[in-house]
A and B are shown apart, each in its own frame.
Chain A
Amino acid sequence: MYNSNNQKAEYSLGIDIGSTTAKVILRHGEEIIFESYERHFSQVREKTAELLSAVREITGENMLCAAISGSAGLGLSEATGIPFVQEVFATGEVVRLKEPDTSCVIELGGEDAKIIFFDGGMDERMNGSCAGGTGAFIDQMATLLNITVDELDELSLNAGRIYPIASRCGVFAKTDIQPLLNQGARKEDVSASIYQAVVNQTIAGLAQGKKIMGKVLFLGGPLYYCKGLGERFKKTLKLTDENAVFPSYGRFAVAYGASLFAEKEAFISTADDLLKKVKTAAEIKGGTERLAPLFENECEYNEFVARHSSATVEHCEISDYSGNAYLGIDCGSTTTKLVLLSEDNKLIYTYYASNQGNPVGIVLEQLLKLYSLCGKKVKIAGSAVTGYGEELIKHAFCVDYGIVETIAHYKAAKFFQPDVDFILDIGGQDIKCFKIKNGAIDSIMLNEACSSGCGSFLETFAKAMGYSIAEFAQKGLMGTAPVNLGSRCTVFMNSAVKQSQKDGATVEDISAGLSISVVKNAIYKVIRATSPDELGENIVVQGGTFYNDAVLRAFERELGHNVIRPSIAGLMGAYGAALFSKKCTHSTLVDDIALQNFVHTAKSAVCQGCTNHCRLTVNSFGDGKKFISGNQCEKGLGIENNARSLPNLYEFKRNYLTSLKSEKGKRGTVGMPLSLGMYELLPLWHGIFTKLGFNVKLSSMSTRRTYEKGQFSIPSDTACYPAKLMHGHIEELIESGVDAVFYPCLTYNMDEKNTDNHYNCPVVAYYSELLKGNTEALEQVEFWYPYLNVDNTRELARGLYRYFSNRLQGITLSEIKAAVNHGAKEYEKYMSAVKQEGRLAVAKARQNGDRIMILAGRPYHIDSEICHGIDRLANSLGFAVVSEDSIFDLAKPFTVRVLNQWTYHARLYRAARYAAENPDTQLVQLVSFGCGVDAITTDEVRSVLENAGKYYTQLKIDEITNLGAVKIRLRSLLGALEEGE
């Protein structure tokens, strides 16, 4: 510990500045004499200076050695010259000193998650930029539940069950949690489920094929404070008490490591000197890009305020009114809104507040209040509810109508501005856009799960920085040089903000920057507009997020066009619902007497209706009324399904494939994973291998369990869900005792002609290569993955012979040729059965006057876990469901504007053309999250449909098990169709 001037350090100082907290540790020899752990609210330099002052109190003028670590520490290190040590590396230093027999470290920070393996050479993994924060994620979820992190932890320890929550990133998980809350799931269970999601994310995202076992050390703030989280890790990893270590220095491990690192460096200084360095460093500006301020001057601001204050709706005091009134309730993802309208559409009562995770309670309270305000002279003559909690509220209070929120918002905007061309609504979680042409909805665009979180994101961020959302927005208006944070998914913004903080951006500039990002996200990701002219002349913006003047201003600036924001921007859903309810003649809404005795309990249950075993939430209301949610079909509701059964090609294909039989064979058992390309070519392979004398064993249709079974060996956490499921199928086959597993490499698929080429996508084509390298269980069996040409029977036979001639005893080319011919016939039989059934379905639907939906995706989208029962949902909404491969050949081939080189995708274009040519047919495209190829197909399918004046509906699907968002899209489509008729 001597430097070049031969000065000796008395103390060792470690500073760890993470994304949300700053930690310091000061040691004198072995002894820790000072430690501190504080949130820095993005004031990195100020907080560090504060901590250094505290250090100064102890060290005085004595020499000390120091090092900085942490994601936000890098900038400070660069600016001050204090040595930097990478945080995972710092952790390694501590472990080697304190717990040398550790096999694995799991460290969660504010936004980083890390695993360090010590067995067999040190191997470290950090979360990718997609798997959003962990500590920050828990914070966000606590905010969503309207409790503190401590309370969440407390609650989690009393959980009775775990709900599946998507573990990919914060926004996805949020989409799962919100409906659970709205449907009345217990907070205890939700809390524990949130922790489980973090655990799953850590294991699936970071371990990447390496098993976590032996002595595991848990480090970092969240694992130190959240006892429940540690419990979930212990349970999931099946660790004993001895092997799960939560050390007392858990929060400080990185700072501790930095202090150890400091001792090896020749940087020796005094606390005063460090303090001076940090203080002067504050003036250095970094390279974060800046944008023009929202307002050039005071005058612009005043004009803006004046213009928007004119867009109001007439009010009338409830005490001054008598007669009929109409109630609109908007039970949104994070807020609940109520509006009571007079006969002449004046507002006589409004309510807007966070639903605090308990929308039923809020509505109950509000209804009681309303009845007392109304007294005898105002009668609620009609009521309608919309939003995420629509069904729950409708059942609980016998509301007259439940309408889909898109229609509610459209009604409201149209009433407000009859000439409206374009409506943009940004709510807590959703962005909805409508184009209006000739007084009817022309197209509807909704955000994907990956870019949601708009409004609630801003709110969470404001809180994280210590402001209310109103203060935060106000600050944004003042920003002189807003930071450029990009327009990607909001989870990425966390990191972008981190970077700007590193470069010394002010809260004002960050607030303005975030508002601009939200706006860019809406315009470029959701609307996909390139110029404001596309949006039309009269643009109405609404939704709670537009109360934020910074967002409103940013939107106008980005468009270069003024827009109208109604003063009731946040109430438009409820307003539209109230307008809708005016057609009511006899209201069934619960009266004030029944309300006095209203009780609500929520209980969880597992549906026994079929093998899918949906997890249900059963809501019971005082008078024996029940509302059940979580079900994928009608069975769980306990009512006889007497609806006409509508054609469903997905069901047909599933039944066909799973009923392929195979007998005991002389050559043993070969397992085939029912996943990815197998969903298309199974009849071919099944035919070939059965003929060759194999017993063909198929893995069962995927469930959530399938995913969990294989998730530990998934190397790329951003691959599509269908690919990830493959790992579980392989595990299942091997457990079932097959002799070999077959899944070939297929660069090319069947050539269906009239296309540029007939490739498979890279994932379908070569997934076996990845399985071979990452699934250790495959070493127990033969794994056959030859490169084959399926499009040519002669070449296919040759390829198989080349591969199997020295793998299968006594096999001959002629035997293989015969098998290939048999397989090819089976495949042809399957494809013509599908096409036959498709034609029948279309004919039947036409005969009965049912709407036809082409649910267009890939062959593997029929998997019940991948499509989450969307086919059945579409049936229940009255659509006859056909698949893309059953009808695409009814449309003539045509030239698309992109390279048409993948077999599966070529079917999409022709299916779209069929929908474009037939007025009774709609196309809904299923897109797996992370499917790179669909970035190309979606725009093309959309343009084929829109050029023919049809609606384009896209459903992005992933691990998410909740159908709420899907239902909204499909009902919006239905609503728009009805509206148009």
Chain B
Amino acid sequence: MEERKYIPFTEEMKKDYTILVPNMLPRHFKLIMQVLKGYGYNMELLENSGPEIVENGLKYVHNDTCYPAILVIGQFLTAIKSGKYDVNKTALVLFQTGGGCRASNYIFLLRKALERAGYGFIPVISFSLTGLEKHPGFKMTVPVIHRVFYAIMYGDLLLSLVNQCKPYELISGESEKLADELTVRLVDDMRQNGVSFKRLKENSRVILSEFSKIQTARVPKVKVGVVGEIYVKYSPLGNNNLEQFLVDEGAEVVVPGLLDFFLYCLIAYLTDAKLYGKGRFYYPVIKFFYDFLVKKQQEIIDIISAESNFKPPTSITHTIELVRDYIGLGAKMGEGWLLPAEMLELNDSGVHNIVCTQPFGCLPNHIFGKGMMKPLKDKNPDMNIVAIDYDPGATKVNQENRIKLMLSNAKVNLEKNTFSYQISSDEKEKSEIKCK
């Protein structure tokens, strides 16, 4: 069988091509892009929005394909057709994890769409840590991967701190502004001082102290966790600005970090080896890498809890323990077991209200999202979960109406809890009021 043909991104192209990046995780991608810029790539995060994105997506992608594919491809095509870029000097990049979900096909659907639109000559780079495709001009070297992981750790920390401060801040917009400033500083730091775990720890302390300076008024607020399919969970384009909507409704948003997703991918590899005897060759390397990251995650958690009033993330090892009674770790397509695990982790850490986001008709989420609601609720009656479908035809008013229902219940529960909080001891106060 012949090799599937694609246009590779050559070293020649690296010199003067602009690489467009879809707007998936704005906070993390800004950091990752800065890292890559340091290696001479000229990257640009797409921030275009508007109805043409969906229209272009629907035009060039099969309409029953999942919403993230329609949006990502629509966003690329809209940008390319806008005239803003020299199409002969432009490349696109898509992030891939592989796996049995149809999402692994996005890159091929993108290439088909480009061909149909008359841009078949534009190279599409597959950005994956496992090197699914070869692009001579875009190599994932060890130092690059190293830095990308640091960028993810920083991204998770910033995301979490912004979420913890934003709803309470006295000067509106201060935490977002600080996070943007820190992003620039962190990237400069990586460029000048390289990366080491020591620097990460030092920088984390700085970040924590800077965020502690933000003036906040700690009134009791409903906490809402956001989980789900990775694109609609993080991308404001995909979820109709869900985070902002929740904040406007007076909630504090809690979004699990991206590192957990990468650890989940590593566990999937390790589990395949255990269950099916597949990929034993790389097992020790992956295992080493996994253990290393878990250790680092724990160290950051320790710093956050010891040196600030912010709430740290939960270690993946604890999250795994929470989900064991519900689903097998061999379930690894899409978000797999991580989805119910994250919901349990949120519940475990006091966030009982959850929005579970998914593209309409998302195959893995039939099992891991909607399919897990009943067992989760049966064993944890406090959990207040709402599943929201996103798709080009779904309207904001319907989505918001359902979220409002969840929030109404959450507020009733909050009032109950606030009452008990008022009569409880200082001990409780410390856990309730996390930040200053």
Contact of A209 with B374 in the complex, beta carbons under 8 Å: yes
Output the nearest chain B residue to A501 by Cβ-Cβ distance: B397
Contact of A936 with B278 in the complex, beta carbons under 8 Å: no
Q: Does B111 reach chain A (CB closer than 8 Å)? A: yes
CB-contact partner of B363 in A89, A488, A762, A788, under 8 A: A762
Contact of B330 with A498 in the complex, beta carbons under 8 Å: no
Supposing A489-B393, A761-B363, A765-B333 touch, asked if A530 and B66 sit within 8 A by C-beta, the answer is no
Nearest 9 pairs of A and B residues by beta carbon: A488-B393, A770-B371, A492-B393, A773-B375, A789-B276, A759-B100, A787-B330, A935-B64, A716-B370
Whole-angstrom distance between the Cβ of A369 and the nearest chain B Cβ:
45
Supposing A723-B366, A748-B276 touch, asked if A129 and B100 sit within 8 A by C-beta, the answer is no
Q: Which of the candidate stretches A547-555, A829-837, A890-898 sits at the interface with the other chain?
A: A890-898
A895 CB contacts on chain B under 8 angstroms: 1-4
Q: A792-B276, A794-B277, A897-B4 are in contact. List 7 more A-B contacts (CB 8 A).
A: A71-B397, A126-B405, A488-B63, A766-B333, A787-B275, A936-B65, A936-B109
Q: Does A719 reach chain B (CB closer than 8 Å)? A: yes
Output the nearest chain B residue to A451 by Cβ-Cβ distance: B63
Supposing A88-B405, A129-B360, A899-B108 touch, asked if A530 and B60 sit within 8 A by C-beta, the answer is yes
Contact with A along B256-277 (1 / 0, CB 8 A): 0000000000000000100111
Supposing A716-B371, A754-B1 touch, asked if A795 and B392 sit within 8 A by C-beta, the answer is no
Once the chains are docked, how many angstroms separate the CA of A716 from the CA of B370? 6
Q: Does B361 reach chain A (CB closer than 8 Å)? A: yes
Contact of A761 with B100 in the complex, beta carbons under 8 Å: yes
CB-contact partner of A530 in B59, B276, B331, under 8 A: B59
Q: Does A342 reach chain B (CB closer than 8 Å)? A: no
Could you list 17 A-B pairs, sorted by A, with CB under 8 Å? A71-B401, A74-B400, A130-B360, A495-B395, A495-B397, A499-B397, A759-B100, A760-B100, A763-B367, A769-B331, A789-B276, A792-B276, A935-B64, A935-B65, A935-B102, A936-B105, A939-B62
Q: Which of B51-67 contact A (CB under 8 A)?
A: 51, 54, 58-60, 62-66
Whole-angstrom distance between the Cβ of B277 and the nearest chain A Cβ:
4
Output the nearest chain B residue to A723 by Cβ-Cβ distance: B366
Once the chains are docked, how many angstroms separate the CA of A747 from the CA of B111? 27
Supposing A495-B397, A895-B2 touch, asked if A120 and B371 sit within 8 A by C-beta, the answer is no
Once the chains are docked, how many angstroms separate the CA of A769 from the CA of B320? 16
Q: Does B327 reach chain A (CB closer than 8 Å)? A: yes
A53 CB contacts on chain B under 8 angstroms: none
Contact of B370 with A715 in the complex, beta carbons under 8 Å: yes
Contact of B104 with A899 in the complex, beta carbons under 8 Å: yes
Once the chains are docked, how many angstroms separate the CA of A745 from the CA of B337? 13
Contact with B along A64-85 (1 / 0, CB 8 A): 0000000100110000000011
Q: Which B positions have Cβ atoms within 8 angstroms of A?
A: 1-4, 51, 54, 58-60, 62-66, 99-102, 104-105, 108-109, 111-112, 116-117, 272, 275-278, 326-328, 330-334, 360-375, 377, 381, 389, 391-398, 400-402, 404-405, 407-409
Q: Does A354 reach chain B (CB closer than 8 Å)? A: no
Output the nearest chain A residue to B376 by Cβ-Cβ distance: A773
Q: Does A502 reach chain B (CB closer than 8 Å)? A: yes
CB-contact partner of B62 in A130, A719, A759, A938, under 8 A: A938
Once the chains are docked, how many angstroms separate the CA of A763 from the CA of B105? 17
Once the chains are docked, how many angstroms separate the CA of A788 from the CA of B54? 40
Q: Does A124 reach chain B (CB closer than 8 Å)? A: yes
Once the chains are docked, how many angstroms separate the CA of A124 from the CA of B408? 11
Output the nearest chain B residue to A450 by Cβ-Cβ distance: B64
Greatest chain A CB density within 10 A among B365, B368, B398 is at B398
Contact of B367 with A767 in the complex, beta carbons under 8 Å: yes
Once the chains are docked, how many angstroms separate the CA of A119 from the CA of B330? 35
Output the nearest chain B residue to A112 by Cβ-Cβ distance: B401
Once the chains are docked, how many angstroms separate the CA of A120 from the CA of B51? 44
Contact of A897 with B366 in the complex, beta carbons under 8 Å: no
Once the chains are docked, how many angstroms separate the CA of A716 from the CA of B364? 11
Contact of B371 with A787 in the complex, beta carbons under 8 Å: no
Once the chains are docked, how many angstroms separate the CA of A525 from the CA of B109? 17
Contact with B along A739-780 (1 / 0, CB 8 A): 000000101100000100101111101110110111000000
CB-contact partner of B360 in A718, A762, A787, A936, under 8 A: A718
Once the chains are docked, how many angstroms separate the CA of A75 from the CA of B381? 33
A693 CB contacts on chain B under 8 angstroms: none
Contact of A762 with B333 in the complex, beta carbons under 8 Å: yes
Supposing A766-B367, A767-B367 touch, asked if A773 and B377 sit within 8 A by C-beta, the answer is no
Output the nearest chain B residue to A900 by Cβ-Cβ distance: B4
Once the chains are docked, how many angstroms separate the CA of A924 from the CA of B287? 47
Q: Does A737 reach chain B (CB closer than 8 Å)? A: no
Whole-angstrom distance between the Cβ of B394 and the nearest chain A Cβ:
5
Supposing A86-B408, A762-B333 touch, asked if A498 and B401 sit within 8 A by C-beta, the answer is no
A361 CB contacts on chain B under 8 angstroms: none
Output the nearest chain A residue to B381 by Cβ-Cβ distance: A121
Contact of A124 with B109 in the complex, beta carbons under 8 Å: no
Contact with B along A933-956 (1 / 0, CB 8 A): 111101100000000000000000
Contact of A901 with B363 in the complex, beta carbons under 8 Å: no
Contact of B397 with A502 in the complex, beta carbons under 8 Å: yes
Q: Which of A119-140 contact B (CB under 8 A)?
A: 120-124, 126, 128-130
Once the chains are docked, how many angstroms separate the CA of A716 from the CA of B363? 10
Whole-angstrom distance between the Cβ of A588 and the nearest chain B Cβ:
45
Once the chains are docked, how many angstroms separate the CA of A792 from the CA of B277? 9
B99 CB contacts on chain A under 8 angstroms: 759
Once the chains are docked, how many angstroms separate the CA of A49 from the CA of B105? 53
Contact of A488 with B374 in the complex, beta carbons under 8 Å: no
Output the nearest chain B residue to A521 by Cβ-Cβ distance: B63
CB-contact partner of A932 in B104, B277, B362, under 8 A: B362
Supposing A524-B63, A747-B333, A895-B3 touch, asked if A530 and B117 sit within 8 A by C-beta, the answer is yes
Contact of B398 with A718 in the complex, beta carbons under 8 Å: no
Whole-angstrom distance between the Cβ of A724 and the nearest chain B Cβ:
10
Greatest chain A CB density within 10 A among B54, B112, B278, B395 is at B395
CB-contact partner of A795 in B101, B276, B393, B409, under 8 A: B276
Once the chains are docked, how many angstroms separate the CA of A439 from the CA of B315? 68
CB-contact partner of B330 in A530, A747, A899, A938, under 8 A: A747
Output the nearest chain A residue to B373 by Cβ-Cβ distance: A715
Once the chains are docked, how many angstroms separate the CA of A897 from the CA of B62? 14
Contact of B275 with A789 in the complex, beta carbons under 8 Å: yes
